[in-house]
Structure 1
Amino acid sequence: MTETVVFPQDRTCPYRPAPAYLPLADQKPLAQVALYDGRRVWAITSRDVARRLLIDPRISSDRTNPAWPMMFASIAATVSDVQQKVMKIVTALVGVDGPVHNARRKLLIPSFTTRRINAMRPQIQAIVDRQLDELVSTGPPADLIPAFAGPVPVTVLYRLMGIPDSDHEYFEKKTYQLAAGPDANAAYDELMPYMAELIAAKRRNPGDSVLDDLVAERGAKGGTDDELISTLVLQVAGGHGTTGTMISLSTFVLLQNPDRLAELRADPSLLPIAVDELLRVLSIPDGVSRLAIDDIEVAGTTIRKGDGVFFITSLINRDEDVHEEPDSLGWHRATARDHVSFGFGAHQCLGQNLARVTMEIAIGTLLARLPGLRLAVPADEIPFNPTAGFHVLNELPVAW
């Protein structure tokens, strides 16, 4: 056994695993790591074991359990009233198990099918084209994140969910405050009545958005709006940030891999598999946290009831038993979609179809319309957030 690694660790590169994680892969399929407070938890690094555990009912997502493993001291020390309010939203869907989770998830599944998302392709294309028109008219250099990678998925998701265009900026601001910062209480207190009024408006004038579907479904079953509001806020608050990060980070990586970039430009039909390969390699969520609620035997080791379990995405997605030359990008890789970037099992990301299509159209159109796209500064001068949990570029200066 190597010396216990403290989890999480900072990355030294925005798209590669933290160097301190690499010894953990040698202990595959699982190893012990230490949290900030010294608590030892399990780190899963094998793709096959990760998939098996993520569908095991003895692995819980219930964040209200007192034994839930906190990744950061700042989370554990969150002011209680803020934590309780935000937890109410988080636990509406991703923080519950079993029949309760299944019932809530079932309400949303029809809204995120491949068929429905593919029907949105013309709308997504129009959103991408308009954003690129603005980018080009402003001229280089530009920061691609606020000018393109950020606004595109926000607009796409809000249109799908039924947030009025005139409210996008307001809703974006409030959901950001809800997720981070000292204004979470005020943001929560504003969002709840706002969503209640939006639901009432949908009842008066039904449309064809996800929110309209949910309102009709809940009304038919005589349900209340509380779970609906929490579920909707969770979806729109959490869905676009990851997609925007993937668009910017994918562009950054492609511009440093000219051969792969040239292949995509020469054959756009490779874009769907390229999106999954980028999702696999970049692994922007550092890990998925869970709690064992019973003893589980794994490869001759017992994960005990009450143990924290972390699935280290960047290592799982580079499992050498699954992917040949896992650190490299390849648009013809048969295992490109065998990743856990969207999770796995009952809690797998509902918005994955939307994320894939948005990335495909955004990246494909960007590369086609700006053949001279390049970084405006050296790659090592572009700042990024090295802290574990969620990896983002702070800016992406480009020219063309």
Structure 2
Amino acid sequence: MVTDYSDVKAVLADRRSSVRNIPDPSRGDEGGEPLPGFFIAMDPPDQTRLRKMLSREFTPRRMEAMRPAVERITNKLIDEMLAHDGPVDLVQALALPLPSLVICELLGIPYERHDWFQEETVKFLRLDTTPEEAAETVASVMGYLGELTVSKMDDPGDDLISLLLNHVRSGDLTIPEVAGMAAFLLMAGHETTGNMISLGVYALLEHPDQLELLRQDPSLIPAAVEELLRFLDIIGNLPRYLTEDMELAGQTIPAGEIVMVAMDAANRDPKQFEDPNTLNIQRTDAKGHVAFGHGIHVCLGAPLARVELQSVIATLFTRIPTLKVAVPSEEIQVKTEAKIFGLKSLPVTW
């Protein structure tokens, strides 16, 4: 296990660190052949080819153009929250549905399917899900997205799947690869961002001094999001398989070993971040965090996740300034049965 910030970045950036030969069905494979389109489980040149195709359409500029849609969906979900007298579970009312609905809009998937995708993603990421169950879940999602992708060949829209079909027409991508990339984006971008939303809101409510700084100066919201990404952790450890010997901190790790890089420890390395265990939204170096990874596998959806987190924090605390946690903090339960860390529920009132 590697915990030092500089060593974590070194491992993630090194081409000797492979994502192959790591049995984990949530990565789209069991250490054998990865699923079509699941470039997270591929090394170059396959990873490079697929990621390059997707990154042409999944640009920061395009993600920023999604902000009005994100804000519209956020406001709609908050409207539904306010229709209740409270308390309301923020996880189910806002945190999980928002990224699910946003990714559906981005990919051009009918809204009415988002509940099903949400259920399939939860099933897929459970720690007790067997490889067979994970494969069945992925096959179900990819089957639907494959049919949807084929239908868009004759009736394209302005969505991401339709744009990727241009690469199918040119012969650079296949239909199964597009369906696989869509399935990966859907599953990877939903549970991760959803958990960060609920954890981030809870962290701000538990640090009223930091929340007050935001209220006094909303221009701090982007910096606050970066600090929350550094301070909180949903991934834990990332595995890498060494294809060659590697020296780290004076130790030689032989080829064939699995190296776990501790993202949470790296983001709280006192050699990199001053007073790292304190939430400080005025921190100037927070953007150096590795919450989205590093190197060739750095999270492609990071710009969209930032837009979603910024929109939720700005809109939620503006529209419900008296928002507060409805139960004592010791009653807040965290997920222990899923690969992505988060809250089981977050009862709030106002």
TM tier, smaller: over 0.9
- Report the counterpart of residue 219 of structure 1 in structure 2: 169
The answer to whether residue 340 in structure 2 is matched with residue 384 in structure 1 is no
Q: How many angstroms apart in 2 are the aligned matches of 1:216 and 1:172? A: 28
Q: Does residue 13 of structure 2 align to residue 55 of structure 1?
A: yes
Counterpart in the other structure of 2:250: 300
Whether 2:295 is the aligned partner of 1:345: answer yes
Structure 2 counterpart of 1:164 = 110
Q: Which moved more, 1:189-198 or 1:134-143?
A: 189-198
Alignment length (residue pairs): 345
Matches within 5 A, 1:131-280: 131-180=77-126, 181=129, 183-221=133-171, 223-280=173-230
- Looking at structure 1, the residues matched to 141 and 228 of structure 2 have their Cα atoms a distance apart, in angstroms, of 34
Indicate which of 210, 235, 241 corresponds to 1:285: 235
The correspondence for 2:316, drawn from 337, 346, 366, is 366
Distance 1:276 1:241 in 2: 19
TM, length-normalised to structure 1: 0.81
Secondary structure at the counterpart of residue 206 of structure 2: coil
Q: Distance in 2 between matches of 1:197 and 1:252?
A: 39
Q: Is the 8 A contact 1:89 1:231 kept in 2?
A: no
Contact in 2 for aligned 1:59/1:291 (Cα 8 Å): yes
CA contact (8 A) 1:60 1:290 kept: yes
Does the residue aligned with 2:335 lie in a helix, a strand or coil? coil
Alpha-carbon distance between aligned partners in 1 of 2:168 and 2:137, rounded to the nearest angstrom: 25
Superposed CA deviations along residues 313-348 of structure 1, whole A, max 9, x for unmatched, are 111001111111001111221210111111101000
Q: Is the 8 A contact 2:8 2:266 kept in 1?
A: yes
SS in 2 for 1:306: coil
TM-score using structure 2 length: 0.92
- Partner of 1:221, secondary structure, is coil
1:109: how far off? 0.6
Distance 1:83 1:110, change over 3 A: closer
Cα pair 2:121 2:191 within 8 Å, conserved: no
> Structure 1 residues 289 and 112 mapped into 2: Cα distance closer, same or farther (>3 Å)?
same
C-alpha deviation, 1:84, in angstroms = 5.5
Decide whether the 8 Å contact of 1:86 with 1:178 is kept in 2: no
CA contact (8 A) 2:8 2:263 kept: no
Task: Answer yes or no: is the 8 Å Cα contact 1:284–1:392 preserved in 2.
Answer: yes
Q: In the aligned structure 1, how far is the partner of 2:168 from the partner of 2:289?
A: 34
Bigger Rg, which one: 1
Query: What corresponds to 2:70 in structure 1?
Result: 124
The answer to whether the 8 Å contact 1:290/1:310 transfers is yes
Following the alignment from structure 2 to structure 1, what is the Cα–Cα distance between the partners of residues 335 and 83? 30
Alpha-carbon displacement from aligned partner over 1:87-127 (angstroms, at most 9, x marks no partner): 74387211111111000101111232221111111111100
1:83, distance to aligned residue in structure 2 (A)? 6.2
One-letter code of the match for 1:260? Q
Q: Is the 8 A contact 2:8 2:262 kept in 1?
A: no
Q: CA RMSD of the aligned region, Å? A: 2.3
Match of 1:26 in 2: none
**Following TM superposition, by how much is the alpha carbon of 1:169 offset from its aligned partner in structure 2, in angstroms?**
2.3
> Distance between the aligned counterparts of 1:361 and 1:228, measured in 2?
29
Q: How far apart, CA to CA, are the structure 2 residues paired with 1:90 and 1:223?
A: 10
Deviation per CA, 1:357-387, whole angstroms, max 9, x where unpaired?
1000011111111111111111111111246
Identity %: 36
Instruction: Say whether the 8 Å CA contact 1:245–1:392 is kept in structure 2.
Output: yes
1:45 aligned residue: 3
Once the two structures are superposed, residues 239-298 of structure 1 have per-residue CA deviations (whole angstroms, 9 ceiling, x without a partner) of 111111011011111111010010111111101111010000101111111011101122
CA gap of 1:148–1:90, structure 2 versus 1, over 3 A, is farther
Q: Does the CA contact (< 8 Å) of 2:100 and 2:190 recur in 1?
A: yes
Q: How has the CA–CA distance of structure 1 residues 157 and 291 changed in structure 2, closer, same or farther, with 3 Å as cutoff?
A: same
Question: Is the alpha carbon distance of 1:223 and 1:198 closer, same or farther for their aligned partners in structure 2, counting shifts above 3 Å?
Answer: same
Paired with 2:141 and 2:110, the residues of 1 have a C-alpha distance of 14
- Is the alpha carbon distance of 1:380 and 1:233 closer, same or farther for their aligned partners in structure 2, counting shifts above 3 Å? same
Letter in 1 for 2:79: D
Find the aligned partners of 2:109 and 2:56 in 1 and give their Cα distance: 18
Per the TM alignment, residue 349 of structure 1 is displaced from its structure 2 partner at its CA by: 0.5
CA deviation after TM superposition for structure 1 residue 139, in Å: 2.4
